[in-house]
């Protein structure tokens, strides 16, 4: 009971309570969401997942070689989206246009379309966005200029076509050309654009069922050229994707056993010269579904990471990202969209637990330093006459020699760029915020395994020979604060403390070497050890004729040991 009356214990209890309350406030997962709409925007290297629920939207990003991030939210409804140079260009239901960057949660406003219209269809490439909008809105835009010598203020005339193609260069919108007269107001299926090999293709439902008109846009003459009609039996929906730089038509057909199936066609030959007869059927190899999951319908297709990505929904409305290839089995596994939505809550909860652990550990370390070991930080240790405190540059050189081989070797084995890994850990250690970028799991594994190997190596070497290779090369030695050999307990303490010091949140404690009176790191302070260097021995005194040696330690008075051991002044025990 007396301990509980002490102010330090009371403060600790209050801090623990506040941290626990903060952790419990972290959301464990996304709130219940009704009538979600899943939207996909992707190119070969970047994938954006947009989840629209009511008047809110959540956006998640991943690259071909990584996982989805923690996402970002907005209290507005997204109705159209496309990837633009890794970023995501979105249209909200009020016509506002914003651009989201993967490295920031704050979007930037972009130019809006006339009448604040949203595109019917949209694709992008080479920093440009192509969109289909109504000709009434396109008529208010200037005509796109291909010749820089001509003025850019010429009005655009869409003629009688109900829809027109417009282009966005990152600053302004301009009109390109009216769509062919065959393109009518959309019913169940809408026109589709595909940009492949720097060529723009247009697909639109034909006059007869199970037909698609196929057009190619001629940049020089600025007109659409018909390439015929593609027969797509029983198709109820379709999408056109760029799969390995080949236009690929993905159609949805009713399955005989219920639900929907996919039918795929690929364009063989040159994009400009080929016509509708060059489209050939292909067979997809799909990624496996979870057990007891049956796809009821498909909601979209996209090209990503040398795969055809598919938005699939089961009978209960659960969405999945399914991947496919034409000739080889897919390398991308099927991913439940729910997993993408839940993972941020799990990470936030784990981050809260880690923050509690970090604060408690920090409080314990500071209490140990400034309460129990305050004397070691302010009192100068008395060293033997021929010893002085090791220079900071010596300690740094010894550490680099010992630690660097482990980090590089493990990085090579795990195929991790160590420089990027260190910068990610440093940023996370300074600001451990999930929104600021949590290091990926393999980065944690690389760093943890490197630290564990280095700590084990140092501990074993120092327990056996009290020396490490780095300190031998840098001529750095270890003594206890009493001037004697460090005991096994001291060696164990100073090495196990490295597990704390190497946590990114505790890297700041390296400044103790420069601030403490005895140039001690945290492990030295708790273990009561100091790192020293040898000074040149002074000549023996001629006045008394003595030839005595000065030793940096004198923990034994046994004359037999003194005669058998090497003089400690010339080779003290190393760390």
What is the model's pLDDT at position 16? 46
Give backbone dihedrals phi and psi of 564, rounded to 5 degrees, phi first: -90, -30
d(CA 274, CA 151): 35
**Distance, CA of 191 to CA of 183 (rounded, Å):** 7
pLDDT tier, 487 (very low <50, low <70, confident <90, very high otherwise): very high
Query: For residues 301 and 224, what is the distance between their CA atoms, to the nearest angstrom?
Result: 25
Matching residue, tokens 């914003």: 98
Q: How far apart (Å, rounded) are the C-alpha atoms in residues 62 and 49?
A: 9
For residue 116, is it left (φ>0), alpha (ψ between -120 and 50) or beta?
Answer: left
DSSP 480: E
Phi-psi region of 359 (alpha: psi -120 to 50; beta: other; left: phi over 0): alpha
> What percentage of the chain exceeds 90 in pLDDT?
43
* Higher pLDDT, residue 537 or 421: 421
The pLDDT-based confidence of 6 (bands split at 50, 70, 90) is very low
Q: What is the DSSP letter of 454?
A: H
Is the pTM above the cut of 0.85?
no
* Strand-pair partners of 336: 320
What is the mean pLDDT of the segment spanning 425-433? 75
pLDDT at 4 over 50: no
Indicate the residue among 53, 85, 110 that finishes a domain. 110
What per-residue confidence (pLDDT) applies to 139? 93
pLDDT tens digits for range 353-400: 777 888 888 888 888 887 777 777 778 888 888 888 999 999 999 999
pLDDT of amino acid 472: 92
Closest C-alpha to 323, from 241, 230, 246: 241
Q: Which pLDDT belongs to residue 176? A: 93
Q: pLDDT-based confidence at 562, cuts 50/70/90?
A: very low
Nearest to residue 387, comparing CAs of 475, 470, 465, 495? 475
CB atoms within 10 A of CB 3: 8
CA gap 302, 81 in Å, rounded: 13
Q: What does the CA dihedral 441, 402, 509, 444 come to, rounded to 10 degrees?
A: 0
In a domain, residue 337? The reply is: no
3-state secondary structure of 406: helix
Query: Around Cβ 499, how many Cβ atoms within 10 Å?
Result: 14
DSSP sequence for 193-229? EEEETTEEEEEEE-SSTTEEEEEEEETTTTEEEEEEE
Q: Which two tokens stand for residue 367?
A: 């209490």
Check residue 348 and give its pLDDT: 63
Please give the residue range of the domain that contains residue 67.
34-110
Strands (E), 232-293: 237-243, 246-254, 260-267, 279-282, 285-286
> Residue 98 phi/psi, 5° resolution?
-135, 160
pLDDT of 131-189, one tens digit each?
999 999 999 999 987 555 455 568 898 888 889 999 999 999 999 999 987 666 555 56
Q: Which residues pair with 99 in a beta bridge?
A: 89, 108
Instruction: Kindly state whether residue 141 falls inside one of the protein's structural domains.
Output: no
Residue 439 lies in a domain: yes
Query: 428 and 504 in contact (C-beta within 8 Å)?
Result: yes
Confidence of residue 122 (pLDDT cuts 50, 70, 90): very high
Token code pair at residue 97: 């246009």
What pLDDT is attached to residue 312? 94
C-alpha dist (Å) from residue 152 to 135, 141, 143, 167: 19, 10, 7, 13
Cβ neighbors of 348 (< 8 A, separation 6 or more) are: 26, 27, 70, 434
Please check whether residue 462 lies inside any domain of the structure: yes
Q: Within 10 Å of residue 532's Cβ, how many Cβ atoms?
A: 27
Residue 334 lies in a domain: no
pLDDT at 12: 46
Helices (H), 379-521: 392-414, 418-430, 441-464, 469-474, 488-496, 498-501, 512-515
Q: Is 449 domain-assigned?
A: yes
Q: Using alpha carbons only, what angle is made at residue 469 by residues 468 and 470, rounded to the nearest 5 degrees?
A: 95
Give me the pLDDT at residue 198, please. 87
Per-residue DSSP letter, 368: I
Domain boundary among 68, 92, 110: 110
Is the per-residue pLDDT at 290 higher than 50? yes
Which segments of 273-340 are extended strands (E)? 279-282, 285-286, 295-304, 307-314, 319-325, 335-336
Between 568 and 242, residue with greater pLDDT: 242
Whether residue 490 is contained in a domain is answered as yes
Can you tell me the distance from the alpha carbon of 224 to that of 163, in angstroms, rounded to the nearest whole number? 13
Q: Does the residue 228 lie in any domain?
A: no
Mean of the per-residue pLDDT values for the chain? 82
Question: Using alpha carbons only, what angle is made at residue 334 by residues 331 and 338, rounded to the nearest 5 degrees?
Answer: 145
- Residue 18: pLDDT band (50, 70, 90) is very low
Provide the domain count of the chain.
2
Domain end marker among 92, 110, 128: 110
Nearest CA-CA partner of 150 in 174, 179, 124, 180: 174
């Amino acid at each position: 009971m007396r301990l509980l009356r002490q102010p330090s214990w009371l403060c600790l209890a209050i801090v623990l309570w506040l941290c626990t309350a903060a952790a419990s406030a972290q959301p464990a997962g996304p709130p219940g969401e009704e009538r979600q709409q899943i939207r996909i925007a992707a190119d070969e290297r970047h994938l954006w997942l947009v989840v629209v629920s009511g008047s809110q939207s959540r956006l998640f990003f991943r690259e071909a070689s990584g996982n989805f991030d923690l996402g970002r939210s907005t209290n507005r409804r997204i109705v159209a989206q496309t990837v633009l140079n890794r970023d995501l260009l979105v249209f909200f239901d009020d016509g506002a246009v914003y651009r989201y960057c993967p490295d920031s949660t704050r979007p930037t406003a972009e130019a809006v379309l006339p009448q604040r219209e949203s595109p019917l269809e949209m694709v992008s490439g080479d920093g440009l966005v192509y969109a289909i909008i109504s000709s009434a809105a396109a008529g208010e835009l200037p005509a796109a200029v291909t010749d820089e010598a001509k003025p850019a203020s010429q009005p655009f005339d869409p003629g009688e076509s109900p829809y027109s193609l417009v282009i966005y260069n990152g600053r302004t919108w301009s009109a390109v050309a009216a769509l062919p007269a065959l393109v009518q107001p959309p019913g169940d299926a809408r026109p589709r654009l595909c940009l492949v090999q720097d060529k723009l293709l247009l697909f639109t439902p034909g006059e007869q069922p199970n037909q698609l008109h196929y057009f190619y846009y001629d940049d020089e003459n600025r007109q659409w050229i018909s390439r015929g009609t593609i027969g797509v039996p029983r198709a109820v929906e379709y999408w056109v994707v760029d799969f390995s730089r080949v236009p690929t038509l993905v159609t949805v057909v009713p399955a005989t056993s219920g639900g929907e199936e996919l039918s795929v066609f690929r364009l063989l030959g040159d994009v400009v010269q080929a016509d509708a007869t060059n489209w050939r059927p292909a067979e997809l190899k799909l990624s496996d579904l979870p057990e007891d999951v049956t796809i009821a319908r498909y909601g979209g297709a996209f090209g990503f990471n040398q795969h055809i990505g598919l938005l699939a929904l089961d009978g209960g409305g659960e969405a999945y990202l399914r991947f496919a290839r034409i000739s080889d089995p897919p390398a991308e596994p099927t991913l439940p969209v729910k997993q993408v939505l839940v993972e941020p809550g799990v990470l936030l909860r784990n981050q809260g637990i880690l923050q509690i652990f970090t604060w408690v550990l920090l409080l314990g370390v500071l209490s140990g330093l400034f309460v129990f070991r305050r004397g070691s930080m302010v009192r100068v240790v008395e060293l033997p006459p021929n010893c002085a405190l090791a220079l900071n540059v010596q300690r740094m050189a010894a550490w680099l020699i010992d630690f660097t081989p482990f980090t590089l070797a493990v990085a090579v084995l795990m195929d991790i760029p160590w420089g990027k890994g260190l910068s990610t850990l440093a940023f996370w250690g300074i600001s451990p915020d999930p929104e600021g970028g949590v290091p990926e799991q393999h980065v944690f594994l690389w760093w943890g395994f490197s630290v564990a190997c280095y700590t084990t190596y140092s501990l074993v070497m120092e327990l056996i020979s009290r020396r490490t290779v780095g300190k031998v090369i840098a001529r750095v030695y270890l003594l206890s604060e009493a001037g004697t050999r460090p005991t096994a307990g001291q060696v164990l303490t100073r090495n196990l403390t490295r597990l704390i010091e190497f946590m990114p949140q505790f890297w700041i404690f390296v400044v103790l070497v420069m601030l403490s009176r005895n140039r001690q790191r945290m492990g030295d302070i708790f273990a009561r050890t100091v790192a020293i260097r040898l000074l040149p021995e002074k000549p023996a005194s001629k006045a008394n004729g003595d030839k005595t040696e000065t030793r940096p330690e004198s923990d034994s008075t046994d004359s037999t040991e003194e005669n058998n051991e090497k003089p400690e002044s010339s080779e003290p025990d190393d760390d």
